[in-house]
């Protein structure tokens, strides 16, 4: 099961999650995770907002900003968001589980 952050804000339940599709969408929009230390004012809110894309893609940016402003323990939140963000990337590089269906390949050089 994918890692998720679940919370309720103003009576509505939210599930934050990243998928391969939402990470690609974030990258297409210019998000570069390795630049967080250089541009924290831009990228930390983008990391939080990106977690809405899987289940709440139509939540307006000002609502996301308002929710973020009311989230306590932001250091821990950002740590968990980074861990969640990394999970689909790691799964992209995993070896196949069913070796009977593996595709044999070789390089031509």
Give yes or no for a contact between 16 and 5, defined as CB atoms under 8 angstroms apart: yes
Q: Are 4 and 16 in contact (CB under 8 A)?
A: yes
Number of domains composing the chain = 1
Q: Which residue has the higher pLDDT, 104 or 69?
A: 69
> Which residue did the predictor score with more confidence, 7 or 95?
7
User: Is residue 29 domain-resident?
Assistant: yes
Output the pLDDT for position 76. 95
| Residue 20 belongs to domain spanning | 5-95
pTM, to two decimals: 0.86
Is 74 a member of any domain?
yes
In a domain, 101, yes or no: no
């Amino acid at each position: 099961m994918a890692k998720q952050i679940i919370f309720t804000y103003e009576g509505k339940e939210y599930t934050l999650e990243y998928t391969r599709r939402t990470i690609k969408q974030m990258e297409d929009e210019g998000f570069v995770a390795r630049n967080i230390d250089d541009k924290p004012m831009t990228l930390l809110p983008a990391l939080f907002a990106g977690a809405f894309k899987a289940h709440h893609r139509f939540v307006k940016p000002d609502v996301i900003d308002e929710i973020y402003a009311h989230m306590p323990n932001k250091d821990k939140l950002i740590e968990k968001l980074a861990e969640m963000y990394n999970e689909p990337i790691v799964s992209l590089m995993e070896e196949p589980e069913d070796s009977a269906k593996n595709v044999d390949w070789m390089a031509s050089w």
